[in-house]
Amino acid sequence: MIAVLQRIRHARVKADGVESGSCEHGLLILLGVSVEDSMEDVRLLADKIPRLRIFCDEQGKMNISLLDVGGGALIVSNFTLLANYSHGNRPDYLAAARPEQAVPLYEAFVEAIRAQGIPVSCGVFGADMQIDMQADGPVTIVMDSEKLKRGRGK
């Protein structure tokens, strides 16, 4: 599971011209679900992301978390994060999970973040979406649940 975290001042997402989600001060999270992902991947990312110290304290040092600042999250599904671009000029997305696998894991991730008291809004799974955001920093971090597994000795 791959998550791209973008620290934001505000963001909103539209699907078919209709706003489906928005967030003030927090994180825009683009989430890609792989064919190899499971609930373990959901737990690893959902435990790590809210506690990641990427917001600035009073001294301007990135030392506080999303939980500490009381920020929100706008979570948008994004299968293109699983692009294989190693051959030719047209990426394939064979590593991306099909909707019947991806939707339950995406929804479990959303609920796991929400269960920690973080206000969450979402895009529309599988839709063509437009995202309007103001980055903060900018601070952008790519998280891969496979790296978290390796860090735990797996």
Helices (H), the chain: 39-48, 66-69, 99-114, 145-151
At residue 151, the pLDDT reads 81
At residue 154, the pLDDT reads 52
Q: Establish if 149 belongs to a structural domain.
A: no
- DSSP3 helix / strand / coil % (the chain, rounded to 5): 30, 40, 30
pLDDT in tens, 31-66: 999 999 999 999 999 999 999 999 999 999 999 999
> Which ranges of the chain have pLDDT less than 50?
none
Q: Establish if 153 belongs to a structural domain.
A: no
Domain encompassing residue 120: 2-144
Q: Establish if 154 belongs to a structural domain.
A: no
Q: Establish if 32 belongs to a structural domain.
A: yes
- Phi first, then psi: what are they for 83, rounded to 5°? -60, 135
Q: Establish if 97 belongs to a structural domain.
A: yes
> Helix, strand, or coil here: 101?
helix
Alpha-carbon distance values, 36 to 29, 97, 99, 105 (Å): 20, 8, 13, 11
93 neighbors 84 (Cβ within 8 angstroms): yes
Q: Establish if 84 belongs to a structural domain.
A: yes
Helices (H), 19-120: 39-48, 66-69, 99-114
At residue 69, the pLDDT reads 97
36: phi > 0 → left, psi -120 to 50 → alpha, else beta; which?
A: alpha
The token duo for 13 is 């997402």
Q: Establish if 70 belongs to a structural domain.
A: yes
112 neighbors 46 (Cβ within 8 angstroms): yes
Q: Provide the domain count of the chain.
A: 1
At residue 77, the pLDDT reads 97
CATH number for the domain harbouring residue 54: 3.50.80.10
